[in-house]
Structure 1
């Protein structure tokens, strides 16, 4: 529940940037939008507090209603969020027929959005960016690594563990050397005497591959374990057998990738673009809106590689 405290949010979100540039923004369940931060006050009627039980069609219709406002009141930037098919993916994994059904439902909602915009005569004037935040991979309980199996080398108390899967994060107590713990854990994992030990590698956070950008923040625990795709870490053995889905593995893994589809006056028809990192989308939006963005991790040249020149 502490997620609404602005202290956790260090960057400037796109809706705050939009407002800083004197334009109107609306957000529908976009993560972080409920946080009052900087010039963003989560304005009534333009900022919806997350409620997963609100039907998807109601969300779409609310956004379409913005286009019925007087033209100077229509937000320049709008977000819309659906928690499917992520919701089903966690329960049943990515290859279950229920995922196909969930995708079809979202497809119907996008259709509802498009026909609503067409009915209002604005579909060709609106730039729509359709993105997901991550992929999904199946996890099953035969793919497990147990921390208790390392007891011969080092005892990892459950109180030390901040998260088990898909990223192992360990905070040893004061007086216990993280370097020592990492050394002993890897010795055990490489010994051949720990089930699935070869599918986990443990690092001091400063030794993680630089491409992960996962060492600078003091919020990141000192010990991080990278788990191979589809495997899970647990504390101790149990008889539980379940299959589901997860994300948050190394972002170089293909199954962690997501989707990017865009349409509108600034996007060329039928064009395919090479894969890119989601941090690029911020500069894409500021370029379309022709506004000044905050410093960010995207590249300034990226929008030109994707967008048509503005008229």
Structure 2
């Protein structure tokens, strides 16, 4: 998630009906409301921008321990490999072209003059797909979300029973303590499905690049928070299904790997919706043919297609919110609307979802999962169907993926 967008969200107030985020006194196990007899809680944890190979840096003992006793994989994000589209895919089972969140920034002809950004809460933009917490609430399963894109938005008059408005000022320690406070409640008001979100690995990856010491430090820090969560759950006498995911990976970028749109397109022919790893363009009225004719002039390291010709493997281009032209850069390159005001450095994402450096972390462990070790890569559309199986929800329809992660739940 781009830091500049997150800073917008950080100014928003905390949501109502949410627990205090500061650490609460520990409840002795002996007085923990007989937690051990309760069904396992399922916790979906997103570590934004966490590549699977970060587990090999020697700083993730807690995540590696979870992987060793459960299931792990290198997971393919959906295209575009951006934060909001993929977080929505993870909880709806639909690729961005079908879930309606086709990019971090987008327009809709039904709302002239409006632009969706990562601070948009208007339910109109989110209404094309139903997240799993809403399906759970409809089924009488209590849910709580400690941050997740769209988790603060009403669907069919429903939200999670407990939710927090995203803020970067809420530390990882406070986020974990908030979740543990929810789990410390009596069974009648304790959530059975929880989401938890960490953004610091992505922020470090953007600012410093995926190979930087600062990014490794962020990886180590979030691993420690996972350790805190595991210890806290154990202290409460609870059991839990933990599903740890990322939305995408991260690629290093540099000033000498940039391509400017005006170097091969006429700026009078188009407007830019979004640029970076890919550029989404809409033609100026009357310039449609001229813009399309220029796409063949794209230089090395960038490919451009009219919307109707986007390669089928991207599963992208049928939604009206997708711009009329897509220009996609090679991994590590950027295609920009103009000369950048600051030197290009650090890292970014949004590239071909099959690119190795866009791969995302997946780990699952708990009573619902047989220990399988490392399994072959799979598409992230499998996560929501898997969560439905774990929660005992019927499979929704339509879906773009099926639960390929496990078959029959262990007895």
TM score, norm. by length of structure 1:
0.89
1:10-21 equivalences in 2 (<5 Å): 10-21=128-139
CA distance change for structure 1 residues 211 and 108 in 2, over 3 Å: closer, same or farther? same
Partner of 1:182: 292
- Aligned twin of 1:193: none
Task: Tell me how far apart the structure 1 counterparts of residues 407 and 229 of structure 2 sit (CA, whole Å).
Answer: 22
CA contact (8 A) 2:134 2:160 kept: no
CA deviations on 1:272-304 (whole Å, 9 max, x unpaired) are: 22111111110111101111243243434x25x
d(CA) in 2 for partners of 1:289, 1:240: 47
Task: State which drifts further: 67-76 or 246-255.
Answer: 67-76
Corresponding position of 1:119:
235
Alignment of 1:14-163 (within 5 A): 14-43=132-161, 46-122=162-238, 125-150=239-264, 154-157=265-268, 160-163=271-274
User: Structure 1 residue 221: deviation in Å?
Assistant: 1.0
Task: Please name the residue that 1:225 is paired with.
Answer: 327
Q: Which residue of 1 aligns with 2:409?
A: 309
Gaps of 5+ in 1: 190-196
Contact 2:269–2:283 (8 Å) recurs in 1: no
Structure 2 spans left out of the alignment, 5+ residues = 1-116
Higher relative contact order (CA 8 A, sep 6+): 2
Secondary structure in 2 matching 1:211: helix
Conservation of the 8 A alpha-carbon contact between 1:12 and 1:294? no
Structure 1 stretch displaced more, 213-222 or 101-110: 213-222
For residues 197 and 312 of structure 2, what CA distance do their matches in structure 1 show? 31
Q: Which structure has the bigger radius of gyration?
A: 1
- The CA RMSD over aligned residues, in Å, is 1.9
Q: 2:393 matched to 1:291?
A: yes
Q: 1:158 to 1:235 in 2, by over 3 A?
A: farther
- Greater Cα shift, 216-225 or 59-68: 59-68
- Structure 2 Cα separation of the partners of residues 235 and 282 of structure 1: 36
SS at match of 2:256: coil
Cross-structure match for 1:6: 123
SS at match of 1:17: helix
Conserved 8 A contact 2:241-2:367:
yes
1:185 to partner: Cα distance:
3.0
Count matched residues: 293
What's 1:266 paired with?
A: 368
What per-residue deviation string (whole Å, max 9, x for no partner) do you get for residues 48-106 of structure 1?
11111011111101111222211122111000001120011111110100000000000
- TM-score, length basis structure 2: 0.68
Mapped pair 1:165 → 2:276:
yes
Conservation of the 8 A alpha-carbon contact between 2:249 and 2:349: yes
Report if aligned partners of 2:353, 2:359 keep a CA contact under 8 Å in 1. Answer: yes
Compared CA separation, residues 271 and 296, structure 1 to 2 (3 A) = farther
**Contact in 2 for aligned 1:93/1:245 (Cα 8 Å):** yes
DSSP-derived class of the 1:30 partner: coil
